[in-house]
Structure 1
Amino acid sequence: MKTLYYDSSYTTSWDTTITDIYEYKGHYYVCLAETAFYPEGGGQPCDTGTIGSVQVLDVQRREEQVVHQVEQLDGLEINAGVHCDIDWKRRFDHMQQHTGQHLLSAICLKELNAETLSFHMGEDYATIDINCSALSGAEMMELEQRVNEYIYRNLPVHGYFINQEELARLTLVKMPKVTENIRIVEIEGVEHNACGGTHVARTGELGILKLYRAEKQKAHTRLYFKYGYRALADYQEALAKLDVFTNRFNTGRKDVVERFHKWEEEQQGLKAEIEQLRRENDRYLAEQLISEAEVAHSSVLTHIFDHKSSQDLQRIASELLMRQQRHVLLATKQDRKILLARHEESELRCGAFFKEHLASFGGKGGGNDQSAQGGFTNEEDLLGFYEYASVQLSQ
């Protein structure tokens, strides 16, 4: 089996012969005489694409063989010729992120004396863990600037195999585990690195680096980053969202933060005004409910609201208990909630009352001696319990 991705990362289409086909645990696999499909490894995901007209789902290395998991085997035969295509968008993205990781790691070592401990390429972000306890915002910006300077130098990137004698003449941060077929990826004038991944030919193809955040990982730091088309897509998405705010506030991009802070202050003022009106309304409701109870000679203040939240009930109950010494039973159809509260001199145990009777009406809840709350799945059960509790508490 010949691995074409070592000859060139830019090979995306070729003709070859199928050497093996088999099924294993409900999955289908194909082996080829020559393959440009990169198998997962070294922190880099595998390539996808097509063998003939069949989709390639996964690619793995099994000892000396590259094995391609495919969607189906229809139309594929051993010893038959077949045309293959790589998903170039996915391949080039991996090339950008992987070469970019090499460059970022090299500059972290040079500028911060921080060695890279691990690399992961996700579908959204790529990350490296570096041997550095913390990284400030200013240090991140400086690091980002330095890496982009190397990108714009458009330095050549080479991939080649060497032997042990040649390896001894190179300075590598981490020595390879293999002793044969040692592949080196070199960013000219920057570093040599043992790596079997796919890479761009020049640093200019990385486009741009964007560092997003530095996250503490025990004694180390994890850097989240994007290169190239990933960074461009993120920039386009960020601008689209920013334009929503500029249009909403009818202002330019440079002034949108200041306009937002002004809007935030306005909202705080409105919130304070609403809170004042809510307190005044609670006092009015409390006085009204007390008057109605006095006219009816009721020992319990009861009321059911159409459009109140459970938080509203708590505030109104507190207002009532400050003004008189009656039990309070309030309910809301909006949230299908009910609240029971007692005055200080009462011997009623609100939580025990709910525990004894609530389940009979399909309700759930509880509380302590001073107050209890319950909820219902439908309005009919809420009203049933409300009527029952009103009668029981009045006796």
Structure 2
Amino acid sequence: MNTIATYYAQPYLKSLEAKVLAITEEGVVLDRTICYPEGGGQSGDRGSIGGCPLLDTIKDEQKHIFHKVQEPTFSVGDTVSIDLDWEHRYHYMQMHTAQHIASGILFSRFGIGTVSVHQGEKALTIETDTANIDETLCYQLEDAVNKAVVEAHPVSYEVHTQKEAEALPLRRTIKVKGDGIRLVVIEGIDTIACGGLHTENTREVGLFQYTAQEKIRGHVRLVFSVGQKALEDIRENRSVVMKLSALFSAPKENLAAVAEVALRQAVLDKSLLQRKGQRLAEVMLEALVTKAEKIEGIPVVLWKVIDDLDFKQIAQVFALYPDLALCAAKEEEGRLLWLVGLSGKASSLFDFPKERAALLTSFQGKGGGRPPLWQGMGMGEAADFLDSFRRLLE
């Protein structure tokens, strides 16, 4: 079931007629294909085969190519049309070419090696062999790559024996063994062993943009966007800046400073609201305790929370009372939030861990905690939950 791979010889071919050799659990096997299988950090091709959706293309350890076709309607022996999702394919060709340019410049100009790469739907990532990279260098790299793009360097291929390839001054050791080593050559920029697909010229990359960096395994991983995705990122960022400028009534050059002032004020406002909420919870619980029914001299508070209080505030004020039975319930966004507190002597009134199932079952309730406080959520009316709690005390 060997498949002739035509994607190396004709990487720009968008459709092809092929014969179906087999349909297996792994996928559809064809006598020839233009579909690149996933590998080397590059996604497998998508599109359609025989009018059926092609979800992915993969290769097994024996280098058999399988086409992941959704519910194929064709049979073994049929001749079918392969039609690529060209936007998807070309995006990865652009990214792969951009990655070679970037890794080549990182190595030749900055002495930084590439450990691994990944081309995703939106972003290209390059894991370097360096623990720290200043952002100034990242923007220098961005400029250098875009310069190489507009200089229109040809991209070509060479095939060498293992011995010949290893004798060349490559920036990275060759990962495969045996003769027939395929080298990708970007004239004046980079030469590296690679089995992926690339554009014929660097100018086809279009645009290269540095977007972020992150730490991984003690290394810096750089994140980039390429081609149309880079342009979309720029436009999206511009739209966000324009909206924020309008929201804060500030020009973009002052936007960061204005946003920092607004953030500091928001933190102060939040702190003030929390203190006021805490005080409100204290006053309300004090009033409820004052008029609460007492069982064996212990106040039992049933609190239907309708104010803008959260259960964290209620739990904090509950802790102020040495002997108190408290059941609080609140309806919020279609859910029932509940809290049960049994402090001091109140624990003798009600063995909540033992009776919890009886209380929560009818409310589809769940939650947890430990003495003297438990809380969770469920479904139903707050008043019904409070009534159920009160009946368990009888």
Structure-2 residue corresponding to 1:149:
147
Shift of 1:110: 1.6
Question: Does the Cα contact within 8 Å between 2:149 and 2:205 map onto a contact in 1?
Answer: yes
Structure-1 residue corresponding to 2:221:
222
Q: Does 1:211 align with 2:213?
A: no
Listed as ranges, the matches of 1:295-374 within 5 Å are 299-300=298-299, 302-307=301-306, 308-318=309-319, 321=321, 327-334=324-331, 335-342=336-343, 347-349=345-347, 353-362=351-360, 365-368=368-371, 371-374=372-375
Question: Does the Cα contact within 8 Å between 1:329 and 1:339 map onto a contact in 2?
Answer: yes
Task: Give the whole-Å Cα distance in 1 for the aligned partners of 2:265 and 2:289.
Answer: 36
Shift of 1:202: 1.9
Task: Give the whole-Å Cα distance in 1 for the aligned partners of 2:386 and 2:221.
Answer: 56
Q: Which amino acid aligns with 2:12?
A: Y
Q: Which amino acid aligns with 1:4?
A: T
Structure (1 or 2) with the larger CA radius of gyration: 1
Structure-2 residue corresponding to 1:288:
287
Listed as ranges, the matches of 1:176-325 within 5 Å are 177-289=176-288, 291-292=290-291, 299-300=298-299, 302-307=301-306, 308-318=309-319, 321=321
Q: Extract unaligned runs of 5+ from structure 1.
A: none
Task: Give the whole-Å Cα distance in 2 for the aligned partners of 1:202 and 1:100.
Answer: 11
Q: Does 1:382 align with 2:385?
A: yes
Structure-2 residue corresponding to 1:94:
92
Shift of 1:187: 1.0
Q: Secondary structure at the match of 2:258?
A: helix
Q: Closer, same or farther in 2 for the Cα pair 1:50/1:347, shift >3 Å?
A: closer
Question: Does the Cα contact within 8 Å between 1:317 and 1:341 map onto a contact in 2?
Answer: no
Task: Give the whole-Å Cα distance in 1 for the aligned partners of 2:349 and 2:27.
Answer: 58
Task: Give the whole-Å Cα distance in 2 for the aligned partners of 1:278 and 1:202.
Answer: 64
Q: TM-score, normalised by structure 2?
A: 0.79
Percent identity, aligned pairs only, is 24
1:307-360 Cα offsets, whole Å, 9 max, x none, are: 1432232243245x3xxx653524233354233343xxx545479732244333
Q: Closer, same or farther in 2 for the Cα pair 1:255/1:148, shift >3 Å?
A: same
Task: Give the whole-Å Cα distance in 2 for the aligned partners of 1:309 and 1:12.
Answer: 59
Q: Does 1:112 align with 2:110?
A: yes
Q: Closer, same or farther in 2 for the Cα pair 1:143/1:295, shift >3 Å?
A: same
Q: Which amino acid aligns with 1:235?
A: I
Q: Secondary structure at the match of 1:143?
A: helix
Shift of 1:64: 7.4
Q: TM-score, normalised by structure 1?
A: 0.79
1:366-388 Cα offsets, whole Å, 9 max, x none, are: 533xx323456344652234324
Q: Extract unaligned runs of 5+ from structure 2.
A: 362-366
Structure-2 residue corresponding to 1:125:
123
Structure-2 residue corresponding to 1:25:
25
Question: Does the Cα contact within 8 Å between 2:323 and 2:345 map onto a contact in 1?
Answer: no
Q: Secondary structure at the match of 1:154?
A: coil
1:279-322 Cα offsets, whole Å, 9 max, x none, are: 44345335534543599996415242331432232243245x3x
1:4 to 3, 6, 20: 6
Structure-1 residue corresponding to 2:364:
none
Q: Which amino acid aligns with 2:341?
A: L
Q: What's the Cα RMSD here?
A: 3.6
Deviates more, 1:91-100 or 1:350-359: 350-359
Q: Closer, same or farther in 2 for the Cα pair 1:106/1:348, shift >3 Å?
A: same
